[in-house]
Chains A and B, each alone.
Chain A
């Protein structure tokens, strides 16, 4: 098992290197110059002297490949550099933003699972019933409803008309009352997809011969569904939920923006607007690492839910 994990981690190295090269060069070729953006005075004029000073200070006067190598060396030593804008360490920004995003992601995931798994199972058991049809229509609506629109509706209802919850913001540290609306907004979208998958894989499992075997043993319908069918039906669902969680952790720009949530998605967009190169690169690499790590965890968790998968011999 440990061998497998080490092997997988080792395989990640080239992928991450590629990500770093690509993100580094895309930013370089993109129009706009951080020195000019930052050194534009309140009068709208660029001060050539301070631009020059800034370039030298931040190492932007050196050739691209030298810049890349310096940066890579620093990153390998745990130093993501300093934000051009705030002049604070990039890593501190990422840490703070990630904490916010992580909180939101976990709550969204819980919202999504609490809605989707029971609905998917019920729809499968009562296939083609009114319940099933209304669940699946609801799921279609959930998939096709854009996040920003749902977010605004929720805001309007609970924040403005009912005045139960704050419209937006982060509170003192991502308080529960602030997290509810964005979490529901993010959670329902993925719940719709998960519920549909849960339903179809549950239906597939219920049609298998081993379900007949379980029934022939005299096992109650509850146990047939909850134990024999569910364990099999969850395998594809875990994959999708895992990948979904990976996307959630990267931060949702739209939802974070409308709810004023200081997460990763917003940090990235703000940094791009400000041509904050160091920050963008740091975020890109961080998000890449995060994504592959979540994938690795999903792969490892397979072993525990599907005994047919054996990594040692694979």
Chain B
């Protein structure tokens, strides 16, 4: 992704949901995108899939296997969705179609992208359900989403995403709303099924990201503020926001970050984090910091680093 911007013009002004983001995801890598609710994480995922409403203005480039996804035709993009890049959307409860059988919802993409006939696609759907460890999968494919529990719906969503063996998976908050034991199971499952695939994991749960990701980027008010390997983020966080985020973890003292994240319409001048930053100086108030590489592969957007 190079200089990617997604803006939404609204009557109140332009919402800069994704602002000048540069990042790259390597093959077979799990990349974590972390930030508070409303910082633009999901919009970034949807931008990659080109699933935003027509009102969204997208600029920049998304290069996938040498092609700029923002320039390919809509039919070509449909071939990419599900087949090359799959997105596991948040809220499995509302993201499954209530009137279609679970098996059909999984088999649909298989028929579409792999050209299998109805029977073979159904076989494959049963196999996929089994691979996300749902018991008696052949019986359950003919059930409807309301007959599944929350954790099982999430498994179905994962099975659906993996159905066509995509090379990149965008997982949006896959552990949201699950209780601790189910969450652990889902994390284990994701670790296993994505071993051979690249994944962009969107989450606000730093614990989950630490466990799953090779590299992590922190997003604040539409832009990236720090990005490095998971280990470095954990051991040597440089941006005050990252530190604050880590400090708010239960095992690190549960210290909240004071204040609210700014409105994406009315962003503060200078560094976007300065109103909440304890170390803010005059420079932070006036100038917008650039992303600086402080160590090889460790980028941060702060004057202090």
Contacts and interface: CB of A to CB of B under 8 A. Distances in A.
A307 B97 contact: no
Interface residues of B, number: 29
Interface stretch (A108-116, A211-219, A261-269, A281-289): A211-219
Interface in A209-234: 209-210, 212-220, 227-228, 231-232
A212 B91 contact: no
Given A208-B94, A307-B98, A308-B98, A217 B89 contact: no
B131 to A, nearest CB: 18
Contact of A216 (B49, B91, B100, B146): B49
Nearest to B101: A307
A218 B80 contact: yes
A66 interface: no
Nearest to B49: A216
Nearest to B88: A216
Contacts of A231: 97, 99-100
Interface string A272-311: 0000000000000000000000000000000001111000
A218 B49 CA distance: 10
Contacts of A235: 99
Interface stretch (B12-20, B107-115, B221-229): B107-115
Interface of A is mostly: helix
Given A218-B78, A220-B78, A213 B146 contact: no
Contacts of B49: 216
Nearest to A309: B146
Given A307-B98, A307-B146, A213 B78 contact: no
Interface residues of A, number: 21
B95 A307 contact: no
Contacts of B284: none
Contact of A209 (B78, B86, B95): B95
Nearest to B74: A221
Interface in A108-164: none
Contacts, number: 75
Contact of A213 (B83, B112, B160): B160
Nearest to A229: B97
Given A210-B94, A307-B146, A215 B51 contact: yes
Nearest to B80: A218
Nearest to A234: B99
Contacts of B83: 218
A217 B109 contact: yes
A217 B146 contact: no
A306 B96 CA distance: 14
Contacts of B86: 216-217
Contacts of B97: 210, 213-214, 228, 231-232
A15 to B, nearest CB: 31
B298 interface: no
A307 B144 contact: yes
A220 B113 CA distance: 12
Interface in B44-87: 46, 49, 51, 78-83, 86-87
A210 B160 CA distance: 12
Contacts of A306: 98-99
Given A209-B89, A307-B144, A308-B146, A216 B98 contact: no
Contacts of B105: 213
B87 A218 contact: no
Contact of A219 (B112, B144, B146): B112
Contact of B98 (A214, A217, A232): A232
B95 A210 contact: yes
Nearest to A306: B99
B99 A217 contact: no
A216 B144 contact: no
B169 to A, nearest CB: 11
Contacts of A208: 94
Contacts of B51: 212, 215-216
Those 7 A-B pairs whose CB atoms lie nearest each other, nearest first: A218-B82, A218-B81, A209-B94, A217-B82, A210-B97, A217-B109, A307-B144
Given A209-B94, A217-B86, A219-B108, 9 more contacts: A208-B94, A212-B51, A213-B105, A218-B78, A219-B82, A227-B100, A231-B100, A235-B99, A308-B146
11 contacts: A208-B94, A209-B95, A210-B98, A212-B51, A213-B157, A216-B86, A217-B82, A217-B108, A218-B81, A219-B109, A228-B100
